[in-house]
């Protein structure tokens, strides 16, 4: 007796061989995938979902965001980076970031992520206990980090305090099924070598991911050169914090030599093309990194610089951006880009044993895409259709750890009217700041 059986679906398992089942089924029990295949019609299950030939993919993994920043979506856009941060974002964050702000913002983000087929995300912000509470209610999964900086933050007066609080947070959630605590030193230009090294000691001692922004802008590269006489990736390597548990967001400006170093050290990348474009940070050398064997995944970044949490659209941007920039239509084919938001993303967060592909024994994190719509027909190639024709809003059903969190485009776990009402309330507060 299974808990749920999905049948009559076009299943893209996204395993290493890109195995597909054109008229396939998936059986789920106790939150795990227990059978996947085709050619079976009769099932004993508590719930049977007929997929009507819709396309099924693994749950999408957003490897870099600041979920609570949904409350700052569109605020102060189109200004120079310095003006945007100093006159808009930082003053509001300084005044309002609290448990309540983060919980409300993350609730809104969780609704949007479920709606768009995201089942797990990597977060870096403050009050991560609020993010954890929100994720639990929404039934999602997350790798959660509190931003550690050398100056006072909403959560900690010093980086030492930030690191101690992270240790407590890791201890609190280390055995949780949905929350994967990790450590988040913000960036090489906001953290001293001492902070970066201490954070890595914690990552190793507690066996968690080390999430950091690296080489996002030219300004950062110049700043690191002035301070340490070298470029950001080499700087991290020089101080001994470049290894396989590093998930580096952005990586827009690595040198050729640094790309080799990223591959050699097995560093993982969260590529954020839309944020990099909107903030005019530049274009990351993704095809080159992939060619050298670097694991590249994709993140939306926060909605203040994107401005949405649609990972399918983000992947579409990535696929087209690098073709155009390299004047080569064969770079980053759709199949490879879909892998970046599923299989490669699971590897990037060191959870490939549990997520990233539809295989027996893995978590039942499943996304059904409604391809029975005019803009998704005729269906020659499902990978192409998802990356170039679909949007997050074409996701029909989402299952996380075997639990249905969205069915027939209706989110089951987050109250849509409530998150909209609360977002409107925050708008008034922020405008009257």
Nearer to Zn ion, 301 or 370 (CB): 301
DSSP 175: T
Q: Which is nearer to Zn ion, 216 or 365 (CB)?
A: 216
- Based on CB atoms, which residue is closest to Zn ion, 258 or 301? 301
Point out which span in 296-304, 367-375, 388-396, 408-416 binds Zn ion (CB under 5 A).
296-304
Of 129, 136, 139, the closest CA to residue 99 belongs to 129
Taking the least distance from each CB to Zn ion, the nearer of 295 and 300 is 300
> Which of these ranges, 143-151, 298-306, 384-392, 421-429, lies near Zn ion under the rule CB under 5 A?
298-306
Tokens 């009402």 appear where?
Answer: 421
The residue of the chain with the least Cβ separation from Zn ion equals: 301
Instruction: Report the nearest approach of Zn ion to the CB of residue 274 (Å).
Output: 12
342: burial class by Cβ within 10 Å (0-12, 13-18, 19+)?
A: buried
Q: How far is the CB of 270 from Zn ion (least distance, A)?
A: 9
Cβ 301 to Zn ion shortest distance, Å? 5
Q: Return the number of the residue (147 or 181) whose C-beta is nearest Zn ion.
A: 147
Give the list of residues 6+ apart from residue 77 with CB closer than 8 angstroms, or none: 84, 278, 307
My answer on whether omega of the bond before 307 falls inside 30° of 0, hence cis, is yes
Of residues 271 and 347, the one with the C-beta less far from Zn ion: 271
Q: Least separation, in Å, of the C-beta of 196 and Zn ion?
A: 17
Query: Among 32-40, 301-309, 321-329, 338-346, which window interacts with Zn ion (CB under 5 A)?
Result: 301-309
Q: Which residues contact 357 (CB under 8 A, 6 or more apart)?
A: 13, 14, 15, 16, 58, 342, 343, 346
Q: Shortest gap between Cβ of 66 and Zn ion (angstroms)?
A: 6
Q: How far is the CB of 234 from Zn ion (least distance, A)?
A: 22
30 three-state secondary structure: coil
- The footprint of Zn ion on this chain (CB under 5 A) covers a number of residues equal to 1
Binding segment for Zn ion among 18-26, 100-108, 299-307, 388-396 (CB under 5 A)? Answer: 299-307
**Window 182 to 201, contacts with Zn ion (CB under 5 A):** none
CB closer to Zn ion, 130 vs 248: 248
CA distance 248 to 265: 12
CA distance 98 to 117: 28
Least Å from the CB of residue 147 to Zn ion: 9
Residues 330-389 that bind Zn ion (CB under 5 A): none
Listed ranges 44-52, 74-82, 93-101, 293-301: which one lies at the site for Zn ion (CB under 5 A): 293-301
CB of 263 to Zn ion, least distance (A): 23
What dihedral angle (degrees, nearest 10) is formed by the CA atoms of 272, 274, 275, 277?
Answer: 120
Q: Are 197 and 241 in contact (CB under 8 A)?
A: yes
Stretch that binds Zn ion, among 11-19, 48-56, 300-308, 354-362 (CB under 5 A): 300-308
CB 156 within 8 A of CB 139: no
Q: How far is the CB of 388 from Zn ion (least distance, A)?
A: 26
Nearer to Zn ion, 112 or 301 (CB): 301
CA gap 356, 85 in Å, rounded: 34
Q: Which tokens go with 267?
A: 């560093």
DSSP string, 208-232: --EEEEES-SHHHHHHHHHHHSS-H
**By 3-state DSSP, what share of the chain in percent is helix, strand and coil, each rounded to 5?**
40, 25, 35
Query: Closest Cα partner for 215 from 249, 183, 265?
Result: 249
Nearer to Zn ion, 124 or 422 (CB): 124
| Stretch of residues binding Zn ion (CB under 5 A), selected from 19-27, 170-178, 295-303, 424-432 | 295-303
By CB under 5 A, name the binding residues for Zn ion: 301
């Amino acid at each position: 007796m299974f808990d749920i059986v999905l049948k009559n679906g076009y299943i893209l398992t996204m395993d290493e061989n890109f195995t597909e089942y054109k008229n396939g089924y998936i059986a789920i029990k106790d939150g795990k995938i227990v059978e996947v295949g085709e050619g079976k019609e009769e099932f004993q299950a508590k719930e049977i979902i007929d997929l009507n030939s819709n396309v099924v993919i693994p749950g999408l993994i957003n490897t870099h965001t600041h979920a609570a920043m949904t409350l700052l979506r569109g605020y102060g856009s189109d200004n120079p980076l310095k003006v945007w941060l100093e006159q808009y974002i930082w003053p509001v964050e300084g005044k309002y970031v609290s448990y309540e702000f983060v919980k409300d913002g993350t609730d809104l983000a969780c609704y949007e992520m479920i709606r768009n087929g995201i089942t797990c995300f990597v977060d870096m912000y403050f009050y991560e206990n609020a993010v954890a509470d929100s994720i639990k209610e929404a039934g999602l999964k997350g790798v959660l980090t509190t931003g550690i900086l050398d100056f006072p933050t909403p959560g900690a007066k010093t980086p030492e305090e930030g690191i101690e609080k992270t240790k407590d947070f890791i201890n609190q959630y280390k055995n949780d099924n949905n929350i994967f605590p990790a450590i988040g030193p913000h960036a090489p230009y906001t953290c001293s070598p001492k902070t970066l090294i201490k954070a890595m000691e914690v990552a190793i001692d507690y066996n968690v991911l080390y999430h950091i922004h690296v080489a996002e802008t030219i300004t950062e590269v110049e700043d690191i050169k002035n301070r340490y006489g070298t470029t950001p990736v080499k700087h991290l390597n020089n101080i001994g914090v470049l290894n396989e548990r590093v998930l580096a967001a952005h990586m827009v400006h690595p040198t050729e030599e640094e790309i080799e170093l990223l591959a050699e050290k097995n560093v993982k990348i969260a590529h954020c093309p839309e944020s990099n474009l909107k903030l005019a940070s530049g274009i990351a050398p993704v095809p080159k990194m992939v060619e050298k064997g670097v694991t590249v995944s994709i993140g939306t970044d926060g909605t203040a610089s994107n401005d949405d949490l649609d990972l399918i659209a983000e992947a579409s941007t990535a696929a087209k951006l690098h073709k155009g920039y390299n004047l080569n239509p064969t770079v980053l084919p759709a199949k490879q880009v879909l892998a970046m938001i599923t299989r490669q993303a699971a590897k990037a967060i060191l959870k490939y044993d549990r997520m990233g592909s539809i295989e027996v024994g893995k978590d039942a994190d499943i996304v059904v895409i409604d391809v029975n719509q005019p803009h998704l027909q005729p269906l020659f190639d499902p990978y192409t259709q998802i990356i170039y024709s679909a949007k997050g809003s074409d996701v029909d059903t989402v299952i996380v750890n075997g639990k249905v969190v969205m069915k027939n485009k209706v989110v089951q776990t987050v109250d849509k009217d409530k998150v909209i009402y609360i977002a409107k309330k925050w708008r008034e507060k922020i405008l009257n700041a």
